[in-house]
Structure 1
Amino acid sequence: MSLINVTNLTYAYEGSYDNIFEDVSFQIDTDWKLGFTGRNGRGKTTFLNLLLGKYEYSGNISANVTFEYFPFQVEHKDHNTLDVIEEMFPDYLHWKLMRELSLLKVSEDVLYRPFDSLSNGEQTKVLLATLFIKENSFLLIDEPTNHLDMEGRKLVSDYLNSKSGYILVSHDRSFLDHCVDHILSINKTNIEIQKGNFSGWWDNKLRQDNFELAENEKLKRDIKRLSDSSKRTGNWSHEVEKSKNGTRNSGSKLDKGYVGHKAAKMMKRSKSIEQRQQSAIVEKSKLLKNIENADSLEISQLAYHKSQLVELEKVSIYYGDKRVCADISFSIEQGERIALLGKNGSGKSSIIKLICGEDINYTGTFKKDSQLKISYVSQDTSDLGGNLSDYAANNGIDESLFKSILRKLDFSRVQFEKDISAFSGGQKKKVLIAKSLSEQAHLHIWDEPLNFIDIISRMQIEELLLEYSSTILFVEHDREFCNNVATKVIEL
């Protein structure tokens, strides 16, 4: 066991006026299985890069371990996988590698195939296995689930649970719960570490938020009461002071010493109330700093003149001579939230492309009304660029509504001035979702919409789909999201 000490860490990107981290200090035990969470754009990947020594910063980071980053950047993807592994770790022991690959259910034959011929899931497992056989290393695992199907996520989660000594960035609640024992969270105003899994951290956060909201309301009432009392006491003091030059009803002179003493006493009481009021204001200012803005989203789908929107009966899809799926039968009815599940390569995206109107070679019966309007969210964000205003105009959506949705998904106003190509992966996916929610459509089709998106935003989207009678077909490998949202599951 050793410690990673972070002391007075301050960092801002070059040319930026805002610090991502400011005077941050904490300790990490290298035996921990540390889950790393926080909203998109808060600096999770930036912190991993600081540990790797990629940026200059103020403060100090000290550790007696070597940091290894996942995913490792493979330069020669056309080389055999075994050669790629030797490039990563020239001194590896073959038996140790085979042990790790066996735990991840990866067959030995992948070692003798070109790395780029492996599926995304196989690539993920090979890189993890190689990094975990390096001794005296602490792994920085950045979003390993994005290319894993549900079965792959379960397998990798079990694998990580058998290990220790890593920081894991993931937005999949079930995945985190199964394989971490501490949570490092980047909040709005600080960084904190708690023992336990994500669900335990989230329950604690909700309790703290509810306490602070109740305390905030109590202090608001106290401040108003003290303010009113201070004004009354001040007015009394002023009236008593004015009476020093007056007379009693009997015509006799006032005792000015007594009146002055009484006025001073009232003034002292007024000052005391003001001090208590200021103390209450100071206490109030300590609250609500880390309560996340998670305003409700809205979806306004167009009504359709038929209850059934789409029907597939014994549909098989082909790419050339290769059949990617066979005898698929289901329908989409108004108000249904359908999860399309299956392993990677089982034809989920092909089914979606067929429904969306792409020219797909298929057999069987496929029915879709020509008047049906579909809003589609793609897996791919690589072509996004330009500013948000032009993006809204080019896609024919209301700019104010579009930006309002992005604000609710934790976009700062500064973000609106940046080029979309400079956004994080999660922010780009939010752009696609905000566009989709701004479109007039009868049916929403989302292909892996939650990749890279933070957990709080996932919960917002979840609540949106549950609150409205939305009709949606989606592909998603987040088990918790599927369990909570889907009214029907189609498994390929």
Structure 2
Amino acid sequence: MSLINVTNLTFAYDGSYDNIFDNVSFQLNTNWRLGFTGRNGRGKTTFLNLLLGKYDYSGNISASVSFEYFPFHVEHKESNTLDVIEEICPDYEHWQILRELSLLKVSEDVLYRPFESISNGEQTKVLLAALFLKENSFLLIDEPTNHLDIHARKLVSDYLKTKNGYILVSHDRAFLDNCVDHILSINKTDIEIQKGNFSDWWDNKNRQDHFELAENEKLRKDIKRLSDSSKRTGNWSHEVEKTKNGTRNSGSKVDKGYIGHKAAKMMKRSKSIEQRQQSAIEESTKLLKNIESSESLKISQLAYNKKQLVELANVSIHYNEQTVCSSVTFTIEQGERVTLAGPNGSGKSSILKLILDEDIHFTGTFRKGSQLKISYVSQDTSQLQGNLSDYAINNRIDESLFKAILRKLDFSRIQFEKDMSSFSGGQKKKVLIAKSLCESAHLYIWDEPLNFIDVISRLQIEELLLEHAPTILFVEHDSEFCKNIATKIVEL
């Protein structure tokens, strides 16, 4: 066991006026299984890169271990998987990689196939196995779940539970809950570490947020009451002071000493109230700094003139004489939230493409309502570049509404000035979701919409779909999201 000490860390990207980290200090134990959470764009991947020494920074990071980053960059994907592993970890023993692959339920034969020919999920597992061959290293695991289906996520989470000595960036609540023992969270104004899994941290955060909101309301009322009291006392003191130069109603002279003493006493009381008021104001400024905004979202659902929008009956899809999926039968009716489930490679994206009218070779019966308007969120965000205003114009959506939705999804105004190519993976995905929410449609088709999306935004999207109940067909591997949202499950 050793420690990673972060002291007075300050960092901003070149040309940026905003610090990503500002004089932060904390300490990590290299035996921890550390979940790393925070809203998109807060600096999680940036911090991992700082540990790797990729950027210059102010402050100090000290550690007696080296760092290894996942996912590895694979230069020659055409090479056999065994050669890819040897390039990553030249000193390993063959039995070690067989042991790790066995734990991850990956067959040995993938070692002798070209790396590019194995599935994305298998690639993820192979690279994780190679990562854990690294000895005397603290492992930085950045979003490993994005190419894993629900079953593979559970398997990988169980695998990570048997290990220690890593930081894991993930937004999948069930995945984190199963395998981490501490949480490192980047909040709005600070960084904190808590013992426990994600749900423990989330419960503590909600309790703290509710306490601060209640305390802030109490202080707000106290400040108003003290302010009113201070004004009244000050006015009384002023009125009493004025009588020093007058006479009593009976015509006798006033006792200036008594009145002066009374006025001074009232003024002293007024000052005491002002101090209490100032103290309450200072106390209130310490609150609510890390309350995350999660305003409700809306969707432009169009009513369709028929109950049934889509029907598939015994549909089989073929690519290059290979059958991708067979005998698929289901319908989509108005108001249904349908999740298309199944392992990677089972044909989920192909079914979506068929409904989207892409050139797909199929047999069986496929019917889609005429004049059906569909809004689509793709898995792929690589095409996003340029500024948000041009993107809104090119996609014929209301720019003001589009940016208002992005603000609700935790975009700062400074992001509106940046090129989309510089956005984090989660921010790019939010652009696609915001575009879809601006589009009036009968049917929404979302293909893995939550990849890279932070937990708070996931909860916002859940609330949106539950409140407005649009007709939606979606593919998603976040088990909590599917459990909460789906009214129908189609298993391939």
State if a TM-score over 0.5 links the two structures.
Answer: yes
Give the structure 2 partner of residue 339 of structure 1.
Answer: 339
Structure 2 residue 273 is the aligned partner of structure 1 residue 270: no
What residue number does 1:299 align with?
299
The residue number in structure 2 matching 1:12 is 12
Aligned partners of 1:355 and 1:77: how far apart in 2? Answer: 32
Find the aligned partners of 2:126 and 2:469 in 1 and give their Cα distance. Answer: 43
Code of the aligned partner of 2:141: I
Matched residue of 2:202: which SS?
A: helix
* Counterpart in the other structure of 1:488: 488
Once the two structures are TM-superposed, the CA of residue 446 in structure 1 deviates from its matched residue by: 0.2
| TM-score of the aligned structures, taking structure 1 as reference length | 0.99
Q: Structure 2: how far apart are the matches of 1:469 and 1:177?
A: 28
CA distance in 1, matches of 2:328, 2:75: 39
In structure 2, stretches of 5+ residues that fail to align are none
Aligned to 1:53: 53
**Which amino acid counterpart does residue 266 of structure 2 have in structure 1?**
M
* Displacement after TM superposition at 1:130 (Å): 1.0
Question: One-letter code of the match for 1:252?
Answer: S
State the Cα RMSD in Å.
0.7
CA-CA distance at 1:54 after TM superposition: 0.6
- Matched position secondary structure for 1:53: coil
Q: Partner letter of residue 87 of structure 1? A: E
- Give 2:80's aligned residue: 80
* Equivalent position of 1:387 in the other structure: 387
Partner of 2:41: 41
What's the offset of the Cα at 1:228?
0.1
**Secondary structure of 1:327's match?**
strand
Q: Deviations over 1:455-492 (max 9, x none)?
A: 11001001110111211000000000000000000000
The answer to whether the 8 A contact 2:89-2:133 is kept is no
Residue identity opposite 1:38 in structure 2: G
Query: Are 2:323 and 1:323 equivalent residues in the alignment?
Result: yes
Q: Any idea what the Cα deviations from partners look like across 1:354-385, whole Å, max 9, x if unmatched? A: 11111211111111122110000000111111
Number of the residue aligned with 1:475: 475
Give, in whole Å, the separation in 2 of the partners of 1:397 and 1:352: 23
Residue 425 (1) aligns with residue 422 (2):
no
SS in 1 for 2:90: coil
Runs of 5+ consecutive residues of structure 1 not aligned to the other structure: none
| Cα shift readout 1:212-257 (whole Å, capped 9, x = no counterpart) | 0000000000000000000000000000111111100111111111
Q: Deviations over 1:149-180 (max 9, x none)?
A: 11110110010001000000001000000000
What is the rounded CA distance, in whole Å, between the counterparts of 2:4 and 2:223 in structure 1?
A: 44
Alignment deviations for residues 41-90 of structure 1 (CA, whole Å, 9 cap, x no partner) = 00000000000111111111111111000001111111111111111111
Distance in structure 1 (CA, Å) of the matches to 2:23 and 2:266: 45
8 Å contact kept, 2:5–2:62:
yes
Partner of 2:234: 234
Query: In the alignment, is residue 244 of structure 1 matched against residue 247 of structure 2?
Result: no
Q: Distance in 2 between matches of 1:37 and 1:487?
A: 29
CA distance, structure 2, for counterparts of residue 275 and residue 355 of structure 1 = 67
3-state SS, counterpart of residue 376 of structure 1: strand
Cα distance, 1:300 vs structure 2 = 2.2
Q: What does residue 123 of structure 2 align with? A: 123
Q: In structure 2, what is the Cα distance between the partners aligned to 1:456 and 1:47?
A: 20
Which residue in the other structure is 1:221 paired with? 221
Ranges of 4+ aligned residues in structure 1 off by more than 4 Å: none
Counterpart residue identity of residue 426, structure 1: G
Q: What is the rounded CA distance, in whole Å, between the counterparts of 1:367 and 1:118 in structure 2?
A: 34
Cross-structure match for 2:62:
62
Identity of aligned residues (%): 81
- Distance in 2 (alpha carbons) for counterparts of 1:478 and 1:463: 15
Task: Report if the CA contact (8 A) 2:30-2:166 is conserved.
Answer: yes
5 Å-filtered alignment, 1:164-243, equals 164-243=164-243
1:309-354 CA distance string (max 9 Å, x none) = 1111000111121110001000001110001001111000000011
Work out the CA distance in 2 between the residues paired with 1:483 and 1:46.
Answer: 32
1:151 is aligned to 2:136:
no
Q: Which amino acid aligns with 1:153?
A: R
Letter in 1 for 2:361: N
SS at match of 1:92: coil
Q: Which residue of 1 aligns with 2:91?
A: 91
SS in 2 for 1:410: coil
SS at match of 1:445: strand
- The CA distance in 2 between the partners of 1:288 and 1:435, in whole Å, is 31
Q: Give the superposition deviation at 1:114.
A: 1.2
Q: C-alpha distance in 1, partners of 2:70/2:361?
A: 38
Deviations 1:11-30 (A, max 9, x none): 11111111111111111111
CA distance in 2, matches of 1:399, 1:424: 21
- SS in structure 2 at match of 1:55: coil
Letter in 1 for 2:171: H
Partner of 2:160: 160
Looking at structure 1, the residues matched to 488 and 217 of structure 2 have their Cα atoms a distance apart, in angstroms, of: 42
Q: How many residues align?
A: 492
Q: Distance in 2 between matches of 1:361 and 1:117?
A: 23
Q: Following TM superposition, by how much is the alpha carbon of 1:274 offset from its aligned partner in structure 2, in angstroms?
A: 0.3
1:102 — aligned with what?
102
